[in-house]
Amino acid sequence: MEGEGEVTFLDDEEVFAVIIAIAVVGSVLGAAMILRSSSGEKFGAIGLLNDQCKIGNYPAAAVNGSEVNLCLFVYNHYGEPTYFKVEYKIGDNSTLPTNSTASPLHELKEWRVILNNNENATFPISVPVYAAVGTGEEKALIFELWIYNLSDQSWEYSGLWTDLYINITGVR
């Protein structure tokens, strides 16, 4: 019989074409998975921790004119290195920030940090507490997260904030 034992190159070319097609499809899917995982929701976070840099056991009261020790937590998930600023203010229910508007109060203190994507920083802080008049006045210690906009070269309120209510007692 003629042709028995002959190897045809057509079969090898078809196999080669299938292998190439699988490699191309696999590469495209792999690239899509990598791009998809990094194109998720972009966000930042701010948290207030106690003086041991843990959640809970926050001070409930402080002497008027004293300082309170706490820790701040800032997290970056904006997909790029980001320059953050945390502004500290003392207020009450009528001067709290919202998700769209910063508190109208003047900043008393600030902390700045640059974080890479998926990086966080936790650092100790000391903040002054005071009440204008009297004792037993409850105040909100307000911490707002701001982001530096490189295009506009200005600080923008992120809409993120946290607070701690504390009773101001006595006089130093």
In this structure, the answer to whether residues 23 and 107 fall within a common structural domain is: no
Structural domain count, the chain: 2
CA distance 164 to 126: 14
Q: pLDDT confidence of 10, banded at 50, 70, 90?
A: low
The pLDDT tens digits for 110-127 are: 999 999 999 999 999 999
Q: pLDDT confidence of 16, banded at 50, 70, 90?
A: low
The pLDDT tens digits for 62-76 are: 999 999 999 999 999
Q: What is the dihedral of CA 58, 61, 64, 65, to 10 degrees?
A: -20
DSSP, collapsed to helix, strand or coil, labels residue 81 as: coil
In this structure, the answer to whether residues 48 and 33 fall within a common structural domain is: no
Residue 145: the pLDDT is 98
pTM of the model: 0.76
Residue 40: the pLDDT is 84
Confirm if 35 and 12 have CB atoms less than 8 A apart: no
In this structure, the answer to whether residues 102 and 59 fall within a common structural domain is: yes
N residues, the chain: 172
CA distance to 4, 42, 82, 103, per residue, from 98 (Å): 83, 19, 22, 8
Strand order in the sheet with 43-49: 43-49, 67-77, 119-128
Range of the domain at 13: 1-39
If 0-12 CB within 10 Å is exposed, 13-18 middle and 19+ buried, where does residue 14 land? Answer: exposed
CATH number at residue 124: 2.60.40.10
Q: Is the pLDDT of residue 147 over 90?
A: yes
In this structure, the answer to whether residues 24 and 49 fall within a common structural domain is: no
In this structure, the answer to whether residues 21 and 89 fall within a common structural domain is: no
In this structure, the answer to whether residues 31 and 99 fall within a common structural domain is: no
Residue 50: the pLDDT is 97
